[in-house]
Amino acid sequence: MVWFSLVIPSLFMAASIDVEKLFNQLPSDPARLVFINDIPFDNEGGHLQGVQPYYFKGEEYLFFSGSSSTYGYLAVAQGQKVRKLHRLMHKPFKHAGGFQIHRDWLAVGVEDNEARNASFVQIYKLGDPLSDLKEPVAVIERSGERERATAGNRHMDFYRADIGSTDGKIQFHKTGEVDMAGYRKDGWIDPVARSFQNINLLLLANQFCLVGLAGDEDSDGNVIDVFTLGDLPGDSPAVTKIYSRDFKGIPDTKFRWGGRVSYDSQRGLSLYACGDNIRNTIAVSVYR
């Protein structure tokens, strides 16, 4: 996903971080998780788009976002089993893309992936992950020419919001945008601007960073790119690539199907990748 929202000012904050050292410490070989499933899913016309951990009452749950021929969805797995399907929107908004969870906040983009001219970014306040989702606390509506307003593209829109609202609703205000297709690469470690499956926002040593996860077309492997963000909240923030790393390909989990990177001071850095669809089982790779 190449949009992001400044939902919480203290996202993943650390006092002092060597970004290159931090990401180099991720192992090359992941731990493997497999969840069994007996919930019917529409696996036609879509695939999983992202995977994220969520902690509730001391237990780790995994959320997945996915697209299909009829609806966009979130699914929840825990304890070696897929336990919940949350349908978000229905056709034509049947494509739930990359997403991010921080604490009990979840943001996910849902698009019409056929017309490709409209999308919604839905913000949820999570509770029990096995209960039905409540109505989103905020919805960002986006529309425009084809490819400009999809939930994921090479055009990044930046938003700010005050989460201190007392009525349970949050208003997002657009502050800037960046067109990555024509963006100058001065100061980048390399000039490659990939099409990312998922982008996550981290705050490391008071520096906002975007971490993009993608498939490497040449090697059929996986790659992460790390970008710093400057000049916030200006109308054209500075985006600079400072780090890139390749991971070997694994047949049943790929960054181009769904991935996630997260950091906190207690659990450290972790990286997740998942399979293409939830069938009788779903595999997840965890690097940490």
Tens-place pLDDT, residues 222-264: 999 999 998 888 888 999 999 999 998 899 999 999 999 988 7
8 A C-beta contact, residue 83 and residue 130? yes
Q: Which of 197, 234, 230 is nearest to 216 (CA)?
A: 197
Per-residue pLDDT at 150: 66
Top-confidence residue, 95 or 217: 95
Q: What CATH number does the domain located at 4-287 have?
A: 2.115.10
Up-side HSE of residue 144: CA atoms within 13 Å toward CB? Answer: 10
pLDDT at 5: 39
Note the pTM of the prediction, 2 decimals.
0.90
Q: How far, in Å, CA of 241 to CA of 223, rounded?
A: 13
Those residues with Cβ within 8 angstroms of residue 125's Cβ, 6 or more apart along the chain or in another chain: 104, 105, 106, 134, 137
Whether 147 has a pLDDT exceeding 70, the answer reads no
DSSP sequence for 125-173? E---TTSPPPPPSEEEEEE-STTTSSSSSSEEEEEEE-TT-SSS---EE
For the chain, percent helix, then strand, then coil, each to nearest 5? 5, 55, 45
Residue 14 has pLDDT above 60, yes or no: no
pLDDT tens by residue, 80-137: 999 999 999 999 999 998 899 988 999 999 998 888 888 899 999 999 999 999 999 9
Are 151 and 1 contacting, i.e. CB atoms less than 8 angstroms apart?
yes
What average pLDDT does the segment 42-51 reach?
93
Domain locations in the chain as residue ranges: 4-287
Rounded distance between C-alpha atoms, residue 153 and residue 161, angstroms:
22
Q: Is 79 left (phi over 0), alpha (psi -120 to 50) or beta?
A: left
Instruction: Supply the pLDDT for residue 15.
Output: 43
Q: Is the dihedral of CA 87, 126, 172, 5 positive or negative?
A: negative
For 127, half-sphere exposure in the C-beta direction (CA atoms, 13 angstrom radius) is: 7
